[in-house]
Amino acid sequence: MDTVIQYKTLFTISFLHDYFADGKLKKMIVEPTTKTRKILNQHKLIFKLSGNEISVIVQINSDKPIINFGNFLKLSFTLKVNEPYFYNYTNISLNNFRDTIFYFSNTVENKSQNTLYLSQTIETYNSEKVYHLGSLVKYDGIIFEAIVNNVNASPENNGEEWRQIQKKIAYVTSNDKISVHKYPNYTAILNKEIQLLDYLAPTYLEYYNRLQPNIGLCLVKDKAKKIDKKVYIDAHVYQEKPLGIIEIMHRADISDNYALLNKKGEITTKNFVVHFKNRATIWRYIVRGQYAETLTDATQKYVFDKKSNSEFVSQTPIPLAQKPHKSLELALENFQKVRNLPNASPLRIIPENNKIYSNIYLNY
């Protein structure tokens, strides 16, 4: 009798982005790390990338992995986006983004409306903290976005510095960024100030093997400054400098929502999500040619101030989007009206006066 080989999806990860018309992140490349490729082969796991989604499929026997996962299993993947303007249209701080990577994992507890996010929860507003432009906070259960730099006032009734986000989505934020290092600090090792975060019990890094420089996520404790900082220590990742790292783990302490196996050791097929928000900028229309009278939005969603006969500036930031906003109308001095004005392009954004602008030039 022929043997039937059975497979089941262990997990999927969908990468979403509000900038794109269909909501799917474009031009992304996700690859298993070298160590993970070996683990995939050893455990009869199959990795697949299709569009904006990756999946890992496992060979099974009665809904259980044919190769036992043991007490601990970690699969690591690098995330790249083959697009030089990713940060232009993505709502992430522009400060020091080249020195950090995103870190996403199923060790978080960020389930929202039945969606299992791999990013950190959006932080609750803290009156003692100063927020940068684009920061997302929760206030009374509502998500707000900082629309200027250096915000420390409450979002409540504050349309000058905050705007309410209507969608209840656990977006990726700058809090998902961590530093990536090539090697651990030897002084920190000797002082037991580097703690591994992959395993069940707190484990301090007390030695370092140069032949295997892929330690992973660590917590570096500076006892003198009383500062704890998450870093990712991996020589290969440091050299590669991807946009981010995704780590999916099998571990006994992971909640049922995020665990790959149930208490019986059976596969539960998890569907995870990473969701990026599009950046919003102040749109500044500059008319070249004849004078203009007004610039209006037929939907009355956005209001433009007339700075001169040739310049109109939106009062609030407008999200950059692949799908154009078609209701903008320009009235010229000769009573001619121009509809369907071009939208702001993500190719160039202009930080200016604690805000980010997009210039749109009109030749009429």
pLDDT band per the 50, 70, 90 thresholds, residue 210:
low
Domain membership of residue 346 as a residue range: 281-363
Asked if residue 237 belongs to a domain, the reply is no
Asked if residue 185 belongs to a domain, the reply is no
Model pLDDT, residue 328:
95
Asked if residue 42 belongs to a domain, the reply is no
Asked if residue 46 belongs to a domain, the reply is no
Flag the least confident range among 128-137, 188-197, 240-249, 343-352.
188-197
pTM, full prediction: 0.93
pLDDT at 211 over 70: no
Model pLDDT, residue 300:
92
Average pLDDT for 19-33: 97
pLDDT band per the 50, 70, 90 thresholds, residue 88:
very high
Asked if residue 311 belongs to a domain, the reply is yes
Alpha helices in the chain, H assignment, sequence order: 34-42, 186-190, 235-240
Percent above pLDDT 90 for the chain: 65
Model pLDDT, residue 101:
94
Cβ atoms within 10 A of the Cβ of 118, count?
26
Asked if residue 203 belongs to a domain, the reply is no
Listed as own residue / partner, the contacts of 45-51 with beta carbons closer than 8 Å and 24 or more positions apart are: 45/10, 45/75, 46/7, 51/24
pLDDT band per the 50, 70, 90 thresholds, residue 189:
confident
Model pLDDT, residue 89:
96
DSSP state of 121: P
pLDDT at 212 over 70: no
Asked if residue 305 belongs to a domain, the reply is yes
Closest CA to 51 of 72, 70, 28, 34: 28
Model pLDDT, residue 37:
96
pLDDT at 364 over 80: no
pLDDT band per the 50, 70, 90 thresholds, residue 209:
low
Name, of 40-54, 217-231, 334-348, the range with top average pLDDT.
40-54
Asked if residue 341 belongs to a domain, the reply is yes
Q: Count how many domains the chain has.
A: 1
Model pLDDT, residue 96:
66
